[in-house]
Amino acid sequence: MKINKKELVSIIQNTETFIKPKIELEQYCIDAKSAVDIIFFAGFEFNDIKHNLIFDLGTGTGRLSIACAFMKAHIVISIDIDWDALIVLKRNIQSLDLEQIIFPICSDMNNFEIKRLHLPYNMKITTIMNPPFGVQRKTADRIFLERAFTFSDVVYSIHLASDKIHRFISKFIKKFNWIIDYVFPLKMVLEKTFQFHTQKKKKIDVNIYRFIKM
């Protein structure tokens, strides 16, 4: 079944989001349009979704995972440390009849390890993730990149748009023999999530990085 962008945005918009978001985990739900824009970008510009094995690190309630499933990913492995978020993801999976495509795993990124040789050798592996920006805990995003680089063929990651962050990422990933292949700028909409937020909605500038091996 083919699906257009407008239809997919509507599906994602109607999924459940965090019930009790945890500030220490920086649990902000990605808006539906941004989620679909990212997956369409990865899927159509680079053919990195269809028939691929997808890892969604820090999946939360699964908006990126669900978008990948509708873009005909072969299998989506959705990983998050928060069991409460995964319960919501499971309900979303069931309501959309995606149990045979999306498989949630509860794990701390610091403890998550998977060897490339244990994964299908004939299947391309794409990791797509929305890691913590490091506002609550500096360097929180680094372990996500480190883990993704150990088993992926290509990695997409969302980071705040700034020259300082770009310079750091460029230098950091070279240690793992990865490089930036493409940067896709995006305005992401964050809805009011915590009591200290003063605006109902806020637009933030982010960059979607596509990383590949040297």
Share of the chain above pLDDT 90, in %: 71
* pLDDT average, residue stretch 158-162: 93
Q: Grade residue 194 by pLDDT with cuts at 50, 70 and 90.
A: very low
Which residues make Cβ contacts (< 8 Å) with residue 46, sequence separation at least 6? 154, 182, 210
CATH topology of domain 1-11+31-108: Rossmann fold (3.40.50)
Reading across the β-sheet that carries 53-57, which strands appear in turn?
A: 102-106, 75-80, 53-57, 125-129, 154-160, 201-213, 178-191
Conformational region of residue 84, where left means phi above 0, alpha means psi within -120 to 50, and beta covers everything else: alpha
Residue with the larger pLDDT of the pair 18 and 142: 142
- Look at residue 26 and tell me whether its pLDDT is greater than 80: no
99-143 per-position pLDDT tens digit: 999 999 999 988 888 877 677 778 899 999 998 865 555 677 899
Q: What is the pTM of this model?
A: 0.90
Q: What is the mean pLDDT of the chain?
A: 89
DSSP annotation string for 24-75: GGT--PPPHHHHHHHHHIIIIIS--STT-EEEEET-TT-HHHHHHHHTT-SE
Which residues make Cβ contacts (< 8 Å) with residue 191, sequence separation at least 6? 29, 31, 200, 201
* pLDDT average, residue stretch 7-19: 91
* Distance in angstroms (rounded) separating the CA atoms of residues 52 and 122: 10
pLDDT at 107: 94
pLDDT at 128: 97
* Distance in angstroms (rounded) separating the CA atoms of residues 204 and 107: 28
Whether the Cβ atoms of residue 39 and residue 68 lie closer than 8 Å to each other:
yes
31-49 per-position pLDDT tens digit: 999 999 999 999 999 999 9
- Look at residue 183 and tell me whether its pLDDT is greater than 90: yes
* Distance in angstroms (rounded) separating the CA atoms of residues 84 and 107: 12
DSSP code at position 100 = T
* Distance in angstroms (rounded) separating the CA atoms of residues 48 and 37: 14
65-75 per-position pLDDT tens digit: 999 999 999 99
- Look at residue 158 and tell me whether its pLDDT is greater than 50: yes
pLDDT at 87: 95
Which ranges of the chain does DSSP label H, i.e. alpha helix?
5-13, 32-40, 63-70, 83-95, 142-151, 163-174
Write down the domain spans for the chain: 1-11+31-108
pLDDT at 118: 73
